[in-house]
Amino acid sequence: MPPTQFAALTSGQLAAFDGEHIRMLGKTQLQAMTSVQFGSLSDIQVAALTTAQLKCLMPEDLAALSADGIRALDGAQLSALSSPQVSALSTTQIAAIDAADISRLGKAALAALTAPQMAVLDDEQLAALTAKQLATLSATQLQALSTAQVQALEPGDLALMKPTQLQAMSVEQFGALNGAQQAALTMKQYLALDAAHQEALDIALVGIGG
């Protein structure tokens, strides 16, 4: 079907497409679709998109998908998303990503998360971040986390964060670290902090988990 005709399909007509039909769509057909058409796709249809197809989509196309559609994407599909595509996702879409899949986001995609997007990550999503992923977060991204979110970070991952990252966090965030998190911090990390950050910690706990 020519792209011009494909773009004229109604939501009802698109609903008749099964997974096999979705996987057969070419780049020109996908790029001819409107945001309204993308928004009408079911979670089953979205899940059928290949990584190659996802890479063809414009950021606004991804932003038009429903939260259920985003949740239907698996780790491999999410890892195929570009930085502009990730940045275009709404906070509702980000919150819908399965915790098990968020750990598949690559360095570039993770770096593309905006402060508002970081602020909606729940405990399971934050705990699912790997030490490697956490080590790539910028100061702006870390500062976007609430004190409650900070407590969801895995102690072992905190122990591998760069001193510059820890210093970028607010004193309030440091004061919210629980005992296990403080114990996981190394003395090297502690000594690299300024006085205000050090005072927010219980020195008796620092390093005992190492």
Domain count, the chain: 2
Query: Does 121 fall in a domain?
Result: no
Query: Does 122 fall in a domain?
Result: no
* 105 in the same domain as 137: no
The residue from 81, 112, 143 where one domain ends is 112
Rounded average pLDDT over 12-20? 86
The residue from 46, 79, 112 where one domain ends is 112
Q: What is the pLDDT of residue 208?
A: 64
Query: Does 85 fall in a domain?
Result: yes
- Residue 34 to residue 151: CA distance in whole angstroms: 41
Q: pLDDT tens digits, residue range 29-60?
A: 898 888 889 999 999 999 999 999 999 999 99
**Confidence grade of residue 209 (pLDDT, cut at 50, 70, 90):** low
Domain interval for residue 176: 129-210
Rounded average pLDDT over 81-105? 93
Query: Does 151 fall in a domain?
Result: yes
* 27 in the same domain as 83: yes
- Residue 106 to residue 78: CA distance in whole angstroms: 9
User: Contact, 92 vs 121, CB < 8 A?
Assistant: no
The stretches of 7-161 forming alpha helices (DSSP H) are 11-14, 19-23, 27-32, 35-40, 43-48, 51-56, 59-64, 67-72, 75-79, 83-88, 91-96, 99-102, 107-111, 115-118, 123-128, 131-134, 139-143, 147-150, 155-158
* 72 in the same domain as 169: no
User: Contact, 129 vs 107, CB < 8 A?
Assistant: no
Residue 207 has pLDDT above 80, yes or no: no
* 93 in the same domain as 10: yes
Rounded average pLDDT over 57-68? 94
* 77 in the same domain as 144: no
Q: What is the pLDDT of residue 183?
A: 92
- Token digits of residue 63: 């932003």
* 137 in the same domain as 102: no
Q: pLDDT tens digits, residue range 165-195?
A: 999 999 999 889 999 999 999 989 999 999 9
User: Contact, 84 vs 56, CB < 8 A?
Assistant: no
Query: Does 124 fall in a domain?
Result: no
* 105 in the same domain as 209: no
* 105 in the same domain as 23: yes
The mean pLDDT of the chain is: 90
Query: Does 119 fall in a domain?
Result: no
Q: Flag whether the pTM goes above 0.85.
A: yes
* 164 in the same domain as 105: no
List the one residue out of 113, 148, 110 whose CA is nearest residue 130.
110
Query: Does 163 fall in a domain?
Result: yes
Q: pLDDT tens digits, residue range 122-169?
A: 999 999 999 889 888 999 999 999 999 999 999 999 888 999 999 999
User: Contact, 116 vs 145, CB < 8 A?
Assistant: no
* Exposed / middle / buried, residue 204 (Cβ in 10 Å: 0-12, 13-18, 19+): exposed
* 59 in the same domain as 25: yes
The residue from 60, 81, 112 where one domain ends is 112
Query: Does 65 fall in a domain?
Result: yes
- Residue 183 to residue 9: CA distance in whole angstroms: 59
* 88 in the same domain as 5: yes
